[in-house]
Structure 1
Amino acid sequence: MRKTLTITYPADPTRTSAMLADPEYHKTRVSRVGLEDATIEVAPRGQGFVASLSGSVDPSSLPAVAAKIVRSGVSFTVTESWGEPAADGSRTGAYDIDVKGAPVRASATTSMAPQGETTVVTVDLDVSVTVPLVGKTIEEKAAGRIGAAVADEEARAAAWLASH
């Protein structure tokens, strides 16, 4: 499944990038999904940065159709990387998503650009669930949750930016 997402942050790219490079902000992202064993690491890379989140998800937290296939926990690492800023603050980046314990492959390319007083991040996501007969159903269930995740990200970011 391929899907393009748009996330709007209420700040310029410099403030948005600083937020995305802050480990404390990533802790708010982790709290969204209730991961208790998450590990967060953020490291500079030139004028860009790399943020990695590792953890595991209990099968009971998965959609019912996925929980039937996954018998034990699913461990994952999500690596968000952003390159150096252009003169206008825009950047390109990527998400690399490594999932162990489930037949899932996911990755994304990203771009960040100023738009007036905001920053728009475009995420071109590619997710594949390789399970005969039900793989597409699982992909559709995941796609159904994306809108809520984007809305939550925008709300958390707005609150973070207002308080920092």
Structure 2
Amino acid sequence: MKISETVEYPAAPDVVFAMLTDERFQGRKCEQAGALSHDVAVTRLDAGRRVVTRRELPTENLPDFAKSLIGRRLMITETYEWAAPDGDGSRTGELTVELGGAPVSLRARLALVPAGNGTQMRLDGKLKASVPLIGGRIERTAAPAIIDGIRSEGTVGRAWLSEQR
């Protein structure tokens, strides 16, 4: 299932990149998502970065068939791989989201691009549930939560940026 989202930030791409690769920001994002626990690791890759977050979430709001696959807790691992900036400060990257205990993953291309007086983070990816017969149903169930997570990150990010001014 294809997923495409655009998140707007009121800051230049270099400022947004610094935020997205800040361990404290990533921790706040996990807390705002209701994580029972989380950890964050940021690694330099030449002029790029790798950001890995792992968070444990309750599954009480998931449909029963999803809970039967996952259990009472869901471990989500997000891995962002950001490349070096282009001349205008834009960057490209890749995002992988894996759901521990469930055969579901998201693979997406990312772009941080200048837009007016701010930055857009564009995400284009594919959500895949590798379960015979019910994979499509799982994808349709997981997609809104993935999209909500992307939008929530935008909300947390805009609040973070307003606090930094």
Give the TM-score, by structure 1 length. 0.88
- Give the aligned partner of residue 21 of structure 2: 21
Comparing 153-162 with 17-26, greater Cα deviation is found at: 153-162
**Cα deviation digits, residues 66-107 of structure 1 (max 9, x gap):** 112223644342111211111100101011223331111321
- Give the aligned partner of residue 153 of structure 2: 153
Q: Alignment identity in percent? A: 29
How far did residue 108 of structure 1 move? Answer: 1.1
How far did residue 61 of structure 1 move? Answer: 4.8
- Give the aligned partner of residue 103 of structure 1: 103
**1:38 is paired with a residue of what secondary structure?**
strand
* 8 A contact 2:30–2:55 mirrored in 1: no
- Give the aligned partner of residue 136 of structure 2: 136
1:45-124 aligned within 5 A: 45-71=45-71, 73-124=73-124
**Gaps in structure 1 of 5+ consecutive residues:** none
Root mean square deviation, CA, Å: 1.9
- Give the aligned partner of residue 38 of structure 1: 38
CA distance 1:97–1:119, shift in 2 (3 Å):
same
* 8 A contact 2:42–2:49 mirrored in 1: yes
How far did residue 119 of structure 1 move? Answer: 0.6
CA distance 1:74–1:145, shift in 2 (3 Å):
closer
| Distance (whole Å) between structure 2 residues aligned to residue 155 and residue 56 of structure 1 | 21
| Distance (whole Å) between structure 2 residues aligned to residue 154 and residue 71 of structure 1 | 29
| Distance (whole Å) between structure 2 residues aligned to residue 56 and residue 62 of structure 1 | 14
* 8 A contact 2:52–2:78 mirrored in 1: yes
**Gaps in structure 2 of 5+ consecutive residues:** none
Give the TM-score, by structure 2 length. 0.88
